């Protein structure tokens, strides 16, 4: 598997050429989670913990923030699976083929911008920059035709449906 930094850079800067590389890789779910998801999903949780506990003027008790960080991290990990399940389940409705390993790759790699945007949680006034994570929907849109074999014309609607399904873990994470 490519190095973490190289993969992130390629996904963000050249996603059209990176998705075919990802499609050819024989990565297990465990490898994907250990070498990619577990690391990047920690960014928002850890940065938010530091921002709230040490940077913010309205400091919150550290243990409370630590618990919140752990819960948000676990929800993020679960969200990758929930969204992968939705991607896989919806594939035939949009002319694609079910393939959970590819759906898992799509979900994991499409989350990259969301996790990286978590860096802005360090400074409470910059939280609005989390909107940059929406680039993940573009990544998903590009990857769906290749990995789930969906016709290009159906990819925008498929992406929209997956985005609606993704609201469930996002709302849960917001509650945490």
What is the residue extent of each domain of the chain?
A: 4-175
Distance CA 147, CA 24 (A): 10
Give the ranges where 118-154 is alpha helix by DSSP (H): 135-147
For the chain, give the number of residues. 176
CB 28 within 8 A of CB 102: no
The backbone torsions φ and ψ at residue 64, rounded to the nearest 5 degrees and listed phi first, read -65, -45
- Compute the average pLDDT of residues 170-175: 66
At 5-55, the pLDDT tens digits run: 999 999 999 999 999 999 999 999 999 999 999 999 999 999 888 887 776
Distance CA 83, CA 168 (A): 9
Greater pLDDT, 25 or 175: 25
pTM of this prediction?
0.88
Distance CA 41, CA 36 (A): 8
| pLDDT of amino acid 59 | 65
| pLDDT of amino acid 61 | 76
Q: Residue 170: how many CB atoms within 10 A of its CB?
A: 15
Please give the radius of gyration of the chain, using alpha carbons only, rounded to the nearest integer: 16
């Amino acid at each position: 598997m490519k190095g973490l930094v190289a993969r992130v850079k390629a996904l963000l800067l050249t996603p059209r050429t990176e998705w075919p590389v990802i499609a050819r890789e024989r990565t297990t779910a465990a490898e994907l989670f250990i070498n990619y998801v577990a690391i990047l999903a920690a960014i928002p949780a850890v940065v938010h913990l530091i921002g709230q506990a040490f940077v913010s003027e309205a400091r919150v008790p550290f243990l409370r923030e630590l618990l919140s960080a752990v819960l948000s991290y676990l929800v993020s990990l679960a969200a990758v699976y929930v969204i992968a399940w939705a991607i896989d389940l919806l594939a035939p409705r949009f002319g694609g083929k079910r393939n959970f390993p590819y759906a898992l790759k799509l979900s994991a790699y499409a989350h990259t911008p969301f996790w990286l945007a978590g860096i802005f949680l360090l400074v409470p006034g910059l939280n609005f920059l989390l909107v940059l994570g929406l680039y993940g929907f573009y990544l998903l849109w590009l990857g769906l035709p290749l990995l789930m074999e969906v016709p290009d014309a159906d990819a925008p609607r498929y992406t929209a449906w997956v985005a609606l399904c993704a609201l469930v873990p996002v709302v849960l994470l917001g509650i945490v």
